[in-house]
Structure 1
């Protein structure tokens, strides 16, 4: 097939991936922390209830992550991603019109369901369209969509609250839902399931199969390593979501920041998060997955410790920068670590299991922090507990064995 584009269509697929993550995570998930203070004030919900709303999202995500491999046997990625984004959009539109706690929890759980059904197949398409040497670059472009979504919500939500007052959060969900519905259509039109559909080959050099890349099935200690990685991923999931859910509320209600200033802080998270996965992924290529993971956990320990320190606005700003720098580093390194430790033949199945651990941490973290914040009247203890957890994770990372030598 003659290509009318000056570049390979695979990069359109990567763009669709960025738009997908921009929608299902950058907007639908990470905007929640920006919308939370106004929602809580208008609806009269406590911190514990808002924590359970966030938890509902991850329960939905956990369910869809488990079902996605089964669904993909019957539904092609292009259709599944488009339908998932449409589901997210409709659920957000429903939240914009709701006042019932139960309804909002249910709708935000559907947002989580859509997130899993969008995320898993879009990652599958990366392997179809990009050979090994280009997958990291493509994944880095896709992950950048998260950061762009965070930046947008950091500016948009405070402006809406300033203009519309108590109804600003409703307009926020309404506008975000409309954006995602439009992009669901765009992604549906541009996405393709396989390069062969367009008469193309995947991007990258064809390499002969190398047995050296496959660690034998009976590699010693594989189960123990998988359990260690799962625990580390669960700790990351719980702690980074506690911070992401409640940091804007902390800035507004505990530090008396205006919503515009808090939104600017959140936008800085998004800016640094754009570079997070690519930077730490490259670092781990040079120093090893074990030391790369340890570096990120130490970075996060500093971010959470500063957030709970009470040292003032400058400490919070440094905390936000450190959080953004490490925000998407662990998933990037974890994907590579699975291949290093377990071999490419088992990497996909192993990463699915690790994603369950990650989602369990995300499910438990915000609800626990919300109840703790409600009981103690603030989130400093939750941040300090998060810092202790990631410090423990850094120590546990040091116990990971050296990956088996290829042979």
Structure 2
């Protein structure tokens, strides 16, 4: 199987992950009603997913990395399938939290491994496109998988949507287990190497900015349905989630091409983050004009997903880039967990959901200010990607993000 076909196979798995991660925002009201909890409390199942992704996945991937990339991918998909089956069968809030945490661990193993494998399977000049394709698979899950899952939920209940996600995971498992070629590369970095990368100022800046971006983007996405209800009196979030996802697909694919052609991932990343902050700040004021709310949603989806690609590219250019990218992956979902937890806490204490986008915009713009203030003090030219796989091969499983998501 050629490199491009192999990357497309990895994108199929990312599609299942994207459907799972982002369909939850539309299922929270029904899940909460079924299990006897509020929407804000049900939203903490998203926090469990993202927090487990951020904290548990690096530990598991470091242990499993010696098994090889394909084994790690298969293991991750098996965990993902079992977890979503458990969510579909959950009879209590505790079971919901536990199975969503397990699903987060599975996604946290798969998505970074898929990104590192994609980088290793293509020539150096196509790495940006390969990363964009894998990320595009996840964002495509928001365009096709999320609306499909919500339509299934509307007709047959939220549990049926989880069975659909389980089936997608099973299809990805069969493809990866039988058709993925060997992936060669350097050994995976140790946990000491992963966290030691934070001592490098360039890495610390990138990872911190990623955290602020996902607090804003993934954190707000968790409560998009109540936000839309207050902003534009929306009854069903499905078409709006679809528009957000379409923007995400476009941003994912275009970002890789822009990185490859401009060679300026840092400038691209901070520009995208500034646009995200502006789009979120405008969102609460769009309800007065019918349909206008779609515009900031489209922009939010596009720049939110596109942001991940230049960030990954910057870190892969560092010495020991695989360890640095692993930290970025954790920062992505740790930010999402923090954002969804804080958003749920704010709603539980009576904050008008219409104001949540303004808080999210503040987090995004704080990331811009931090980058402009701190990054300017770092002297010396940024490193360039060498012609090797940057350690992004067989055993490393910590390269990407998503979801967000973003993806979130």
DSSP 3-state at the match of 1:99: coil
1:299 pairs with one of 275, 286, 295: 275
* Residue among 93, 99, 110 paired with 1:101: 93
Match of 1:58 in 2: 50
**Equivalent residue, structure 2, for 1:35:** 27
Q: Between Structure 1 and Structure 2, whose CA radius of gyration is higher?
A: 1
- 1:364 is aligned to 338
> Displacement, 1:376?
1.9
1:169 aligns with 2:145: no
Deviation at 1:295, TM superposition (A): 1.5
- Judged with a 3 Å threshold, the aligned counterparts in structure 2 of structure 1 residues 265 and 45 are, in CA distance, closer, same or farther, namely same
| CA distance, structure 2, for counterparts of residue 162 and residue 311 of structure 1 | 25
Q: Which of 264, 273, 277 is 2:252 aligned to?
A: 277
CA distance in 1, matches of 2:258, 2:120: 26
Match for residue 141 of structure 2 among 149, 172, 179: 149
Per-residue deviation, 1:265: 1.3
How far does the alpha carbon of each residue in 1:146-180 deviate from its partner, in whole angstroms, 9 at most, with x for none? 1221112343234224423xxx1111111211221
Where does 1:6-405 land on structure 2 (aligned, <5 Å)?
9-24=2-17, 26-164=18-156, 168-194=157-183, 223-252=200-229, 255-259=232-236, 262-284=237-259, 285-286=261-262, 288-309=264-285, 311-312=287-288, 313-340=290-317, 343=318, 345-376=319-350, 378-399=352-373, 400-401=375-376, 404-405=380-381
- Which ranges of structure 2 fall in alignment gaps of 5 or more residues? 186-197, 385-408
Q: CA RMSD in A?
A: 2.5
Task: Tell me which of the two structures has the higher relative contact order, counting C-alpha pairs closer than 8 angstroms and 6 or more residues apart.
Answer: 2
CA contact 2:77–2:169 (8 Å) conserved in 1? yes
Shift of 1:287: 7.3
What is the CA deviation profile of residues 306-356 of structure 1, one whole-angstrom value per residue up to 9, with x for unaligned ones?
A: 23336445342112111111122222111122245xx3x222222222333
Contact 1:251 1:257 in 2 (8 A): yes
Once residues 352 and 36 of structure 2 are traced to their aligned partners in structure 1, the CA distance between those partners, rounded to angstroms, is 17
Secondary structure, in 3 states, of the residue corresponding to 1:18? helix
Residues 230-270 of structure 1: CA distance to partner in whole angstroms, max 9, x if unpaired? 221111121111222111333347644232xx211111122
State the Cα deviation string for residues 274-320 of structure 1 (Å, max 9, x = none): 12133234445527233212211122112211233364453421121
Q: Distance in 1 between matches of 2:340 and 2:175?
A: 33
Q: How many matched pairs?
A: 367
Which stretch shifts more, 177-186 or 64-73?
64-73
**Alpha-carbon spacing, 1:114–1:74, altered in 2? closer, same or farther (3 Å):** same
TM-score using structure 1 length: 0.83
